[in-house]
Amino acid sequence: MQQRTIKKPVEVIGIGLHKGEPIKLRLEPLSADAGIVFYREDIAMSIPLSPSSVIDTRMATVIGNEKGFISTIEHFLSAVYAYGIDNLRVVVDGNEMPIMDGSSISFCLLLDEAGIEELDTPKKIISVKRAVEVQEGEKFVRLLPSESATFDFRIKFDHPVIGEQNEKFAFSTSSFIEEIARARTFGFAKDIQYLQSQNLALGATLQNAIGLDDHKILNPEGLRFDNEFAKHKVLDAMGDMMVSGHNILGAYESFAGSHNLNFQLTAKLLSDSKNYELLTVEELESRAFEKSFA
């Protein structure tokens, strides 16, 4: 299996979640071993994708430095993970990615429009060699060695609509598009009201998130999946794992995980060479992982 980029540049305009202003997103091909590189066009600043670039994980995954940042990259990166893209320039003209409909499906459609280009260099992946775990009270995230990429996410909310939910997802590009990509982010009306009083979440609407009051869902169309909340957590986890810069071959498991715990997990995984191997797909003993991108 070879490294991937896109065949042609594509762009789209969407609303930023926090500022509520239009954000232009442009995707451009990059050569082999260039990696995923974000670029703030408005301040002429490049930010390479890696855990060392992460500066905030409280409400979303944010990369940057003291000169500038780009927020809410995880929904886009989950699509990048699913399509197996290794090299890409991601250009925005503001400090956040467009939220689109609150899921990853719009980014999948954008990548479909761009097309996938296979390069002449073998694709490298991170193969988990021993268990790595991060805990915070009863919350945890972990990665375990596995011959396939799987995600098992359990959540528990004291809310009549959510309650306890679980999503067990065996990764493939096609199953991601069918089962995960359309799952939307969600928020509680009382939290949104507070955030907007702090000039945050100004772009949040029922067109780009599932809204909930204390008793029910506020979206008139209802849910896209019975366990859409758990599915979106898998979507987030895939995007957060992609911050490593590579697809990860391993079994991801979580109870009530967060962007912060996911960031700590990728950092801990990469902090010790005994935890993982960086391999070409051809070096894997199993061909199943390669077939998942077909």
Q: Which residues are catalytic?
A: 259
217: DSSP letter: B
Sequence length of the chain is 294
Alpha-carbon distance 78 to 234, whole Å?
A: 9
Among residues 248, 253, 235, which one has the least CA distance to residue 133? 253
Q: Which among 184, 235, 226 has a CA at the least distance from the CA of 205?
A: 184
| CA separation for the pair 279, 166 (Å, rounded) | 31
> What CA–CA distance (Å, rounded) separates 154 from 159?
15
Select from 272, 289, 202, 259 the least CA-distant residue to 78.
259
* Cβ proximity of 132 and 265 under 8 Å: yes
